[in-house]
Structure 1
């Protein structure tokens, strides 16, 4: 307990130092450009932005505060990258005026937000054909639509969900898999914006299946979330292995946030391995066990491929596969960067996406 308090205090001190550094730079530029000399007013506004992340969690209905918190993350990340460069330029080249440096930094933020918003709100479809050496059931081939990390809420909204439904329905899939983090923590805005009206129009031959992600656990409203998904036509698999159409087995794992989730070894006992076996696990933290147990197709999300540059350096160091497709022995592994986004409504290192995978069964 004491260690947690110490760590919390250190984090709070560092965070406030960053807030002060960024705020001081912004205020100096505004003061010179607009002859603004209202430090108290600026400080109140700046602190509101800095602590909007905390304030937005007090009540889910604080819509504007939630929006502010998302854009504040952009200021934090790229401010820490750009402001030190600006300070160094002013230090080593005194002839450069702070006004022009400020305009350049402001322009870069406009470009980052503009480009990032386009990449976040204009999802693309990635296609793949794979071959699985397993016994053919009633189907000799089937088509899967795979998407993850919608984070449906205020900014990852009903309109974006409609884009997914339209693209998925156009693919005419046999199966649709929603691989976790479907809502942004709490399903409040999913309900408030009646997103179920859109989700229930999602069609496939054998149904729509999903799993829990870490953010569903953060929201602490899992029973409510599962009920909303059921109303929307999505079956959430919680450490379950089911047989579909006498042709393939699907396992949906609890997220690793749940320390009591069953092992994949336990779940594998419910599958007959002469048929294709598909596993959904939101976080791709362990790709060794699925390969060892003979999983045919392993689906994950979670990483967002860092979402904002240069965060991909972290995800690449953290996960064996942080994005894309990998054939490991006989296991086909897919990690999606997600259809939506978390926090900042931008993507500067990845693009919102949906996968359409055609599976051919071969002897």
Structure 2
């Protein structure tokens, strides 16, 4: 409970700081004090409150919050990324403008050149604010001088004519202030660019996430695979994520896609749901129609432990999928034998709801001449699996990063983010998953169903 409270508190703090930054760049820097700035502040506050409201509300059945809340979460993410990237060029542009203004100030403050042979004295003499021609020839008291018409008087206190090169109001010391209109224009340009780009990327991501999964085919050689089993095919899917934005039609589309592959095995590697059996049982029902030669298998993901794992294990079993909970199944096909093992998700250890991942129970005491394929939701499980000589691990969990550049952060936790990799001698294939979590957005990581074809040496 303490760990959950700490996480929630940290998430709220981060959300508040992000929205404060967005308010500064999108509202304060782009508006003058007044009604529009106040309206922008209110909007930023409401959007900040929408994020935790969505996270909590959708878990409690308030599905109407899902679309506005999760879409804003995606827009917020891309606005943050773009504005942070723009900080450097905007800072450079401000520096250039400042130097130009200083250069203009220096040019305006230089004294006028003195003509050759001159005395360095002004051509005109002034008394107060009244300008008179300087005396030449006869003395100033001569009648000729008195006959000269005086210059037109200038009203005392009148403004002096602007000095050439002075482009704005003068600050203390005679230096002009930085032009606020230029800074405002620069801030608005950056905000408009970030806003339009974030909206475009998010729109593309929604179209990708809500579209049909892409079918990928991958051939993976296994050193111990019997030649008689060469070409054994495993239809692999993960992270279906039935929930507020994905229902029965999503499951039906995935099942139809897998059935067209005519696979030997079907592997569903976790994160099937984001809700209880009562809420999503009907949406998962089409899984009973999965077809394969040697069976369909399931292992738990971390989201099952947030959604009533024991109920879902029973429900998935009722739908005809064999749930591998720290155990393995012999697959006898084409005159050969392969061990198919499965472990509970690593999240189970901290929940107390089910047995933690037990690699020894699933992989120990077996015939070492047989190849073994392990189903484990998270790629990080490969570090333990490799100790038992696992030939291939099939995983999901990462969503391929789901929203670039978030994939860069996923790499900090998982050894493989997407596709085929290797961990301590064990091959690991990570599928992007067929659904999404949170924002209905996928950028750089399309939804995926994979047909894994095992090849003998």
TM-score, with normalisation over the residues of structure 1?
Answer: 0.84
SS at match of 2:75: helix
SS at match of 1:117: helix
SS at match of 1:326: strand
Q: CA deviation digits over 1:105-161, x for unaligned, max 9?
A: 332122111221233234211111233333649855421011111111122343333
The equivalent residue for 2:78 is: 78
SS at match of 1:161: helix
Q: Is the 8 A contact 2:71 2:440 kept in 1?
A: yes
Indicate the larger mover: 66-75 or 298-307: 66-75
Name the CA distance, whole Å, in 2 between partners of 1:276 and 1:182.
27
TM alignment of 1:129-140, pairs within 5 A = 129-134=219-224, 136=226, 139-140=229-230
Q: Is the 8 A contact 2:219 2:453 kept in 1?
A: yes
TM alignment of 1:192-207, pairs within 5 A = 194-207=282-295
SS at match of 2:21: helix
Assess, with a 3 A threshold, how the Cα gap between structure 1 residues 270 and 180 changes in structure 2: closer, same or farther.
Answer: farther
Q: Is the 8 A contact 1:55 1:65 kept in 2?
A: no
Q: Is the 8 A contact 1:239 1:267 kept in 2?
A: yes
Structure 2: state its 5+ residue gaps. Answer: 95-181, 350-354
Cα shift at 1:321: 2.1
Cα shift at 1:257: 1.0
SS at match of 1:133: coil
Name the CA distance, whole Å, in 2 between partners of 1:300 and 1:128.
14
Q: Is the 8 A contact 1:241 1:270 kept in 2?
A: no
The equivalent residue for 2:315 is: 228
TM-score, with normalisation over the residues of structure 2?
Answer: 0.68
Q: Is the 8 A contact 1:145 1:177 kept in 2?
A: yes
Name the CA distance, whole Å, in 2 between partners of 1:224 and 1:75.
35
Aligned length: 357
Name the CA distance, whole Å, in 1 between partners of 2:223 and 2:290.
30
Name the CA distance, whole Å, in 2 between partners of 1:94 and 1:256.
51
Name the CA distance, whole Å, in 2 between partners of 1:190 and 1:184.
8
Assess, with a 3 A threshold, how the Cα gap between structure 1 residues 249 and 77 changes in structure 2: closer, same or farther.
Answer: same
Cα shift at 1:69: 3.2
Q: CA deviation digits over 1:61-110, x for unaligned, max 9?
A: 10012333322321332222234466774982526265554443332122
The equivalent residue for 2:266 is: 176
The equivalent residue for 1:285 is: 380
TM alignment of 1:48-127, pairs within 5 A = 48-56=49-57, 59=60, 61-84=61-84, 89=90, 92=94, 94=183, 96=185, 100-120=189-209, 121-127=211-217
Assess, with a 3 A threshold, how the Cα gap between structure 1 residues 298 and 16 changes in structure 2: closer, same or farther.
Answer: same
Q: CA RMSD in A?
A: 3.4
Assess, with a 3 A threshold, how the Cα gap between structure 1 residues 202 and 5 changes in structure 2: closer, same or farther.
Answer: closer
Higher CA-based Rg: 2
Indicate the larger mover: 343-352 or 194-203: 194-203
